[in-house]
């Protein structure tokens, strides 16, 4: 059987729903006919519970910044102006590539050298 995990005990949810149903029954007793009183209390109890939870979440979110501890900076960081960035200019035509001079630095080509490794690989 798959258990429903809501983050709180199921008896707490059932208790809150019963209390809301009893409060609604008491409030609607003189205003609604007897035939609709119990079904209306049963239907409106979860709705009122969800509304109460929504109001509690909104109030908690609005009031939580007042109860947080302020964060003190260790030392204020000096403000520095950003360095000017160098953006390459875009060109629309073909650009001339620099020609390589024959006296330039030689390129290294990989060569295989047979050498024995002193350590054994696992």
Does the global pTM surpass 0.85?
no
Helix, strand, coil percentages for the chain (3-state, nearest 5): 45, 0, 55
pLDDT tens digits, 45-90: 999 999 999 999 999 999 988 888 777 666 556 667 666 666 666 6
pLDDT tens digits, 21-42: 999 999 999 899 989 999 999 9
Q: Where does the pLDDT of residue 8 fall: very low under 50, low under 70, confident under 90, or very high at 90 and above?
A: confident
Instruction: In whole angstroms, give the CA distance from residue 54 to residue 60.
Output: 10
pLDDT at 13: 87
Identify the CA nearest to 53 among candidates 85, 90, 7: 7
């Amino acid at each position: 059987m798959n258990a429903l995990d809501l983050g709180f005990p199921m008896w707490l949810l059932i208790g809150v729903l019963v209390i809301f149903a009893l409060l609604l029954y008491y409030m609607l007793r003189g205003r609604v006919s007897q035939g609709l009183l119990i079904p209306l209390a049963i239907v409106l109890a979860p709705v009122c519970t969800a509304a109460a939870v929504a109001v509690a979440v909104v109030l908690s979110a609005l009031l939580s910044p007042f109860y947080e501890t302020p964060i003190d900076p260790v030392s204020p960081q000096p403000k520095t102006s950003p360095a000017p960035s160098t953006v390459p200019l875009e060109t629309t035509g073909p650009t001339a590539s620099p020609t390589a001079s024959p006296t330039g630095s030689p390129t290294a080509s990989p060569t295989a050298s047979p050498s024995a490794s002193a350590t054994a690989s696992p």
